[in-house]
Each structure stands twice: as C-alpha cells, then as structure tokens.
Structure 1
C-alpha cells in the first residue's frame, strides 16, 4: 500500500504543473494549449508503440483500443480543455477550487460502485477537505461584475472538467481491474488514441482559425513548444504511469482522496511562479486538506478487510 501511495503522490506532483504552465502561454488559446499538450503525449506513446509495444497490434487488443479512444477523449481533450477554459475565463484560483473537489467527488462516487467505507464515517473528512480547499482559494470568490458572463462560462467549464475527470478516474480503475495489463501498454494505447483525436481536432481548429503565428519562430512559439512538451511528457505520460501503478495497489476511494496533493502541488507551483509565500489562510487550508486525507485514511483502515477486497 505504501508504494501505491507514493505513486499517487508522484502523479499529483506531475499534474500540479497543469495549473501554472498555461499562465505562461497567454498568447495561445485554451484549445491550442490542450492540443499542444496531447500532441507530445501522443507522439511519445507512438514512438514507444513502434519501438517496444508492437504486440499491441494483435487482434486480441482490438477491444482495448476501442475503449482507449473513449477514455482518451474524456481524460485528455474534454477534461483538460475545460480546465484551461476555466483558467482563462474565470481564473486559475477558480479552476483550482473546482478541480480541487476531485478528491471528494472521486471518493464518494467510487464508493457508490464499491462499498469501501460508510458514508457517515466520511462526512467529517470531506467537510475538512472542502474547508481547506475553500481557504486556499478564498480569493477565487472575488468577482468582477463587468465579466460575469465570462466568469460563468469559465465556471461551467470547470464543472465539466471535474465531471469528466471523475468519471474517467473511476471507469479507468474498474476497467484495469477487469482487464489487467501492464501499465506501459495501457498508457501507450491511451496516448496513440489521443494522438488520433488531436489530429482530428487540430484539423477542424485550423479550418476555423488563423495559424500564421506557427509559421514564424518567436519567443512565444518557443515557450509554447516547451510548455507543451512538459505538459505532454511529465504532466500526462509520467502522471498516467504513476497513477495507474498506484491504482493497482490502492482502493479507488483512497486513491481519490490522495489526489488532493494535486491541488497542493499546483498551489505551490503557482506561489513559485508568482514569487511569493502563501498567506497564513492558504497555509491553514493546505493543512486542513492534509488532515482531511489522514482522517479519511484512518476511517478506511477501520473497514474490515473483506470490505475492500
């Protein structure tokens, strides 16, 4: 179990970058940032497929390939594009606030499918985590009345991203339980399926928008390529690798609660980017989130072993 916990925390460290890197790519649209990220994720997976995973071309994997396309759409293009739209039209704090609720939504929804603890024992840990999330993002409630419509669009996109990510996390967990396969294989399949979706989406986007800024080398384009590379290889490929390895060793409810570290790492990265220390309220919020996770973990350990097997 300890190895699984470390894997989930490592995945959250990689995912934390998604909240800060888009802040440096303001010259590019949310769709472009999402496509750039998953282009590099897909290319990395394609290289691995052609070099070391050719057995995945066998007919026995046809069903897995079809499933990977659906999972790729939910976990990559829909979820992340929604988050970037939320960051752009609301703000990064609102995105972190909404997506920070994923530990609670994943744990509660996962527990509906497989009873791993009583909901009553989980109420207090959930409330503590929610309070911590609100404390760390209290400035997200500062709304400029002149941009209410854009804020609402961003807020809705954040909810859409949260819903798609919650569904993907639980569905992916149960799929790998039903059909165990090496972690590398499944990530490669997700990546290649994502690449197909990227080419399709990029073609449609190019027909509707000017692409002249890609024809001339510039510092902005250099930053975009570097940011996309980090998002695609670290925040996606490496994150999925650690996440899937952790999922095989932990109950989904516990894994879901541990994703609170994604928000904690994301906030720390934002503080570094803004060159400031967190406020006392933000520190209090992060401490409350950790207390909530520990309380939930303690509740889970009290459940008889046959309940989580």
Structure 2
C-alpha cells in the first residue's frame, strides 16, 4: 500500500469516527426537550469554548505566532457557519420536523460538497465521481420518503406549517455546513503547520467567545427553571461539546487534511447513518427494510467514491 493510499485509509477512518460523534447532535434536543434552541446552542458552545481553552493553553505560545488577523476572521465565520448557525438550525429542525427528516436534509451535504470538490484539480473526473454521488443522493431520498410518509401517517406530530418551518431550517443547516466543510478544508490546506487538533481547539475558543453573545438572551428563555433542570442541561451540553465538538471536530480535521474535497464530502454520509442508528435506539425500534436498503446504499456510495479516487491501474499515484 502506498503512503497516499494509507493516508486516505486513515482519512476514511477519521471521517467514520467523526460521523459517529456528530450523529449524537441529532439526539441532543431529545435529551433536553425543554431547552430552547437558543439555550441549547449557547450551552453547547460555551462548554466547547471552555474545554478548548483549557486544552489549548499549554500550546498557546507556539500557536499564537502562526495565526494572523485574516486567520482569526476566517475562524469567526467558520465558527458561525459550522457551529452556531448550523446547530441552531438543526435544533429547530429536529423539534419541528423530527430526527429522521432533519438527518435526511442534512444528509445531502455529501452531495453538495462532493460536487463542489469536482472543481479541484485533485478531484476525479465527473464520469468517475458522479455515480457514487448519485447513489448517495438516491439513498438520502429513499430515507426521506420513508420518514415523511411515516410522519404523515402518525396521529401525533407537528402541524404542516411547523413541519415546513422545520424542513426550511434543515435546508439552512445544509447550506451552512456545506459552506463550513469547503471553507474549513481550504483553510487547513493553507496552514499545514497547525495540527488538525489545534485547529479544532482554535475554532472552539472562537465559537465559545461568540456563544457568550447568545448567553444572556438564552438564559432569559429559562428564567423559571429549577436547579435540577440546569444541572441536566449542563450535563447534556458538556457531553455534546466533548464528544461531538472536541473529539468529532478533531477527527474531521484529520480527514480534511488527508482527503481531497470531492472525497471528503462523502464522509459526511457517516453522520447521517449514525444519526439514524441512534434514532432507532432512542425510539426502541429496528430499521425498516427501506431504511436498511438506504443505509447500505450510503455505505456502498462511500466505498465507490474511495475507488473513484484511486489512480487508474498502471498510473503512478501522486504524493498527497
């Protein structure tokens, strides 16, 4: 196995791990249903910022000279797009449209990012990359058809207007995270001297600072809460911050550094797969036949995408 192939294998493994951590995000609103989207967003990212600040402090003297003004500005918009705005949209979408429909829409991120990555010189030709991208889109559409048809059949659930608002928020999350995935990959390529873990922690510090702005109006939405409710929320926020933000983001940054953008987009499929698995556990049921088929299609699309990025037989693989 060549060094480039080995790097891509580790990149895929990192993408899978990040998906396993990020899939938990869709359960956060279920663990704290009484918390407003604003409060849950502020709490999660304040916790992320605090943990990141503690972890980055010992390495700050080495990192500070590497971060210029434009890099800080990039970290601000990446923190907004990939964290605060994205998560707020997800929380509203899950509340109003449910886990399945929300994961469905956000599950289109691989298609958007992979298509964007085809513009890169390191990406494969459209004829090689299009089939796995189309397969991923079909899998997401299949899951969506199942989720929405089941939702319509249920006796309880959000009204049509509420579900529509939830779906619009899910589309907002899709756009926000797609912009983050592309921008984050570009900026990490410009700063090879900053490790993926340190980049994740820098993003966390900036995100925590931005979350302070949300703290006052967020707390106002829960003025009548008891001490027990605050402790429960703190536990949920710390858990999501540690697993999804600290560990998940570090794994994603590893994948971002090792994989070309058109291939990186497909790795986000794992978030959708794990979100559905966690949703099944939460609901105490197994996947339906249609859902099993869709998940298998997603996995095949990732494997197919990996093969599409392999050099033609007999060709020398360029260094990555």
| TM-score, length of structure 2 as denominator length | 0.88
2:288 aligns with 279
Count of residues in Structure 1 that have an aligned counterpart in Structure 2: 305
1:155 and 2:181 correspond: no
1:173 and 2:185 correspond: yes
- For residue 296 of structure 1, report the CA deviation from its aligned partner: 2.1
Range that drifts further, 8-17 or 288-297: 288-297
User: Alignment partner of 2:88: what SS?
Assistant: helix
Alignment RMSD (CA, Å): 2.3
**Residue pairs, 1:141-152, within 5 angstroms:** 141=149, 142-143=151-152, 147-152=159-164
Range that drifts further, 221-230 or 258-267: 221-230
Counterpart among 121, 141, 148 of residue 140 in structure 1: 148
Distance of 2:316 and 2:173 partners within structure 1: 34
Counterpart among 2, 9, 21 of residue 14 in structure 1: 21
2:239 aligns with 230
Distance of 2:185 and 2:296 partners within structure 1: 28
How has the CA–CA distance of structure 1 residues 152 and 174 changed in structure 2, closer, same or farther, with 3 Å as cutoff? Answer: same
Distance of 2:279 and 2:302 partners within structure 1: 22
1:257 aligns with 266
1:212 and 2:223 correspond: yes
8 Å Cα contact 1:43/1:192 also seen in 2: yes
- For residue 64 of structure 1, report the CA deviation from its aligned partner: 2.2
1:38 aligns with 45
8 Å Cα contact 1:170/1:252 also seen in 2: yes
- For residue 307 of structure 1, report the CA deviation from its aligned partner: 8.1
Deviations 1:29-56 (A, max 9, x none): 1121111111111000111233332434
8 Å Cα contact 1:75/1:165 also seen in 2: yes
Counterpart among 100, 104, 107 of residue 114 in structure 2: 107
Distance of 1:146 and 1:19 partners within structure 2: 17
1:183 aligns with 196
8 Å Cα contact 1:115/1:307 also seen in 2: no
1:70 aligns with 77
**Structure 2 segments unaligned to the other structure (5+ residues):** 1-7
1:82 aligns with 89
1:198 aligns with 211
1:121 aligns with 128
Counterpart among 299, 308, 314 of residue 299 in structure 1: 308
Deviations 1:274-304 (A, max 9, x none): 1211112111111111112222222222466
- For residue 262 of structure 1, report the CA deviation from its aligned partner: 0.9
Deviations 1:34-83 (A, max 9, x none): 11111111000111233332434448544322221111111111111111
